[in-house]
Amino acid sequence: MRVSGENLWPGELVTWSAGEVSAHADRLAAVYRAAFAAYGETDDDTAAFRHRSLPTHTGRDDFRCVVALDGDDLVGFGYGYQGAPGQYWTDRVADLAPPAVVRGWLGGHFEVVELAVLPECQGRGLGGALHDALLAGLPHPAALLSTWQYDTPARRLYLRRGWQPLAELPDATLMGTRLPLTGTARPA
């Protein structure tokens, strides 16, 4: 969902297939490294993202990846898939979140796995545009994600876009939003 006049970012958003993600995995990893270095992500974390997470995630049901291009330059991306029992994150949330949250939110949900924007491209509405494009038209009843427990630009973006904190996990806040998105989105 994009509300007219909200997107201050002039570049292009494109949906990539799992094959395109695999073909451009090094470019995605470079954006991941740059976006998350300020949050303590290391070269080993980037390698794990590139060589373990991406190949696993692209094979999941309802995988969707939206990328931001500025000319030929990849400057941001967001991706997710349908969460299900047997997946690490879904099982972890099921073990750690309150039972009412598990019953009310897990099952058939869309899991927002990553949303990353190059630091020099932040503050221009790109994160919000990626968020909205990633979640637009999904058939799932809800979307879930985990984010840092402290105040970050990403956490503020999710709150502005109508996400609600559902539970505090040992190292993250579980957040959820009902789908389809409604008019609650505001400028990033």
Catalytic residue ranges: 158
Per the CB < 8 A criterion, the answer to whether 29 and 49 are in contact is: yes
CB-side exposure of 130: number of CA atoms within 13 Å? Answer: 32
Per the CB < 8 A criterion, the answer to whether 1 and 136 are in contact is: yes
Query: Which stretches of 49-118 are assigned E, i.e. beta strand?
Result: 64-70, 73-82, 110-117
96, two tokens: 């750690």
Question: How many Cβ atoms sit within 10 Å of the Cβ of residue 43?
Answer: 9
- Considering only CA atoms, which of 116, 145, 143, 133 is closest in space to residue 66? 133
Q: Which residues of 133-165 are buried (b: 16+ CB within 10 A; e: fewer)?
A: bbbeebebebbbbbbeeeeeebbebbeebebee
